[in-house]
Structure 1
Amino acid sequence: MKMHERRSSDDIADSAAAGPIASDSAGQSFPNPIPSFAFNPLDSWTLAFQRGLLNADFAQKTVYEVGVGTGANVAFLLKECGAAKVYGSDVDSRLSTVAQELVSFRIPEKAHYFIPLHGSISLINSPEASTAACASDAIIACIPQAVDTDDHAVASFMEAHYPLAKSKPESRQADYQAHYYPFEQFRHYQFNRFGLGLNEALLDSIRRQAPQADIIVNLSGRAGKQRLLDMFRSYRYEPTVLHKAIVPQCSKTSIAYYAALETHLEQEGLSLESEFFMDSDGVQPISAREAERLRTTEPSATLYHSLYVMRARPEAIPSGDGN
């Protein structure tokens, strides 16, 4: 994830479409088949994220990617964005090696500027990760924003507010961990109810451990743009939009939780303000309930949602304030 530079929050660019499986947005191939347990680096999320990274000033900067995945963003940062050094870690201990192999394959002349942090590292919860974060100008991330529907509290909530949700959990794919996060583990975070608990935990951790760093994250608009802005500001960051895209909603990713949340908020006199659409231009909005109904009953329907690459710059912390 990444951030830096001031632009209007209305600065919008068109979404890039995913290319053939053999190469990514820069037309570069992979040394081995993409692991089934990794987030697909050819996905529209990755391509949109990289468009946003190009709008950030990373020349001669040190960057740390939380959730390094296959390493596609690391290679992009070093080759296309001019980053001086990139750290990378992942909760899946296998991926730091995968990333290292990809970077060495793509840009062997710059591979030594990538420092993979090995082992299972969630967010920046290890001494090595904390040291890397403190040494970085920016921390970037594209981490899960869908709650694990196997979670008992989530399942009960959906049953109460969206009874049309499937009674049995959908089959887990090999890359399940790259899409969903455990809701209960982040229950104490304010924005967890909007599917932002993992991202909020990252903000909290960075604010405490690396308050000098900018943060650039790839966030869906499924909970509404304003809530994304509010989350950053609650941690004393000033967010700006580096890139906005309208991307396909993955047909395998359940949005039943958002449908239930939409109903629940309406009962409280509030609105989810979700940004789901029937078209790739984002001019035909639909509710979260309608989006989930179409996803589950009309497999041929192509749905979309907004995606924001946001950079958040830390506001100065008043003297004596430890928060």
Structure 2
Amino acid sequence: MNTGRIADLAEAFWIINRFPSLLAYNVGYLLIIIGISHRPAVMGRALEIAIFFFAVIFMKAHASIADAIHDYPIDRMNPEKSYVPDSVDTIGKKNARTLMIVELLLGLWLWGYLSYLTGDPLYVTIGAISSFFGYTYSYPPRFKEQGAINHLVTSAVDVLCILLPGIVLLSQKLTTVSIVLLGVVFLYSYSYHIMYQIGDTYYDRKSGISTFTQRLGVANSLLVSLGLLAVAAAVSLIINYILLTVVLLFFAVNFTRIYIRACEMGEQRQSDFVSSSFDISRCATVINISLAANTFLAGWV
């Protein structure tokens, strides 16, 4: 195998797992967990933290591959996402399925090992539940086509299967502020997942796929996304998380700009415009990092 082929496979592996976004925003989640938890509790827990982080990454990565394989023909039609089926072609569908299964098993093993180390079955249970929802997001019952339930599941997995067990792992308790912050994460996660799906609206309709944004329409979906973000900003302001509030309002202004422009377009142009104007990786990462930074600042004042 020549060097060029190895480089192509490495790039395809990087893309099909969605590692650029996966690593970035989950590092943000890890920092949020550490920030919310009592800092002294983090000391001496490096092994558990590492196992937890990679269990999350493998859980998310296997779901990314499942989505890339299942939505291959739809993504092929979408000029903003054609690089995803290209990566499937480079690796090969059979090899991609094998990789998906390997990552699923590795993730489950890490969740199980974390339960073994801590003596708490919570983690292997969380691993099984989150892996189930990760796979069935794309495959039957295919939550991706279950309207608002789609985003309810994806956002709930982030909050209940990543942040919550992470906080329990490090601090063993939830405070009132912690619970409110989990609610804020749910709101802004729901918001940017809607934004991401809007970019697929026209191509999903063309492929006969029924989704939340397709049923609601692009303009109305943008308003729902904007409203959720505004509520998250308001709650953040109430609990005095000023940095997070500013960042959420920044994205709210950007979403408003996108909404105003998109209202003047047909559905295909709307989908392409939103897809090219919105980067879920950048949005999720910046918001998560800002929340993490705010939790650290709150602990210093």
TM-score by length of 1: 0.33
Normalized per residue, which structure has more helix?
Answer: 2
Normalized per residue, which structure has more strand?
Answer: 1
TM-score by length of 2: 0.34
